[in-house]
Amino acid sequence: MQKIGKKNYYISFSPFRVGHSTEPWFIGILVPQDVILQKANTLVLISIFVGLIGFLLIGLIVWYVSKHITTPLVQTTQILNNLSKGVVNKSVHVRVRANDEIAEMANALETLMVFVKKQCPVCQ
């Protein structure tokens, strides 16, 4: 790289022979560094943009999945805390839209609440 004025240039020389000359001639190429790096800089900016979009999408997916898991757990905890205080509210239900361990836990809690309500008519 050679700096000429305020710009950097890539300079390359290559020897060649002309006719029957004993001395080689040289051809030189002078290319501004900006031209060489233009496509690379564009690709870097595109990569950064795609990476940021990817992180945003991954963040949204993680948030959705964690919300989907924690909401039934928080509801179950609240119901169990109320049960420990003797408060049985039949109208409270844990909303689970999956068919996994959390759904099994919610169903077991619903069954427990029905059983406790039958066994303890004075519980509210």
User: Which position has the higher pLDDT, 42 or 117?
Assistant: 42
pTM of the model: 0.58
Mean pLDDT of the chain: 86
Q: What pLDDT score does 32 carry?
A: 92
Sign of CA dihedral 48, 54, 60, 63: negative
Mind listing the pLDDT tens digit for each residue in 81-108?
888 887 777 666 777 777 888 888 888 8
Structure tokens at 91: 């109208």
pLDDT exceeds cutoff 60 at 56? yes
Q: Can you give the pLDDT at residue 124?
A: 56
In angstroms, rounded to a whole number, what is the distance separating the alpha carbons of residues 90 and 75?
Answer: 14
Give the C-alpha separation, 38 to 42, whole Å.
Answer: 6
Strand order in the sheet with 2-4: 2-4, 7-16, 25-32
Tokens of residue 80, six digits: 């169990």
Indicate the pLDDT class of residue 123, thresholds 50, 70 and 90: low
**Alpha-carbon gap, residue 50 to 92, rounded angstroms:** 44
pLDDT band at 73 (very low <50, low <70, confident <90, very high): confident
Residue ranges of alpha helices (H) inside 1-124 are 33-84, 101-119
Residue where the block lists tokens 């031209």: 35
Residue 122 has a pLDDT of: 65
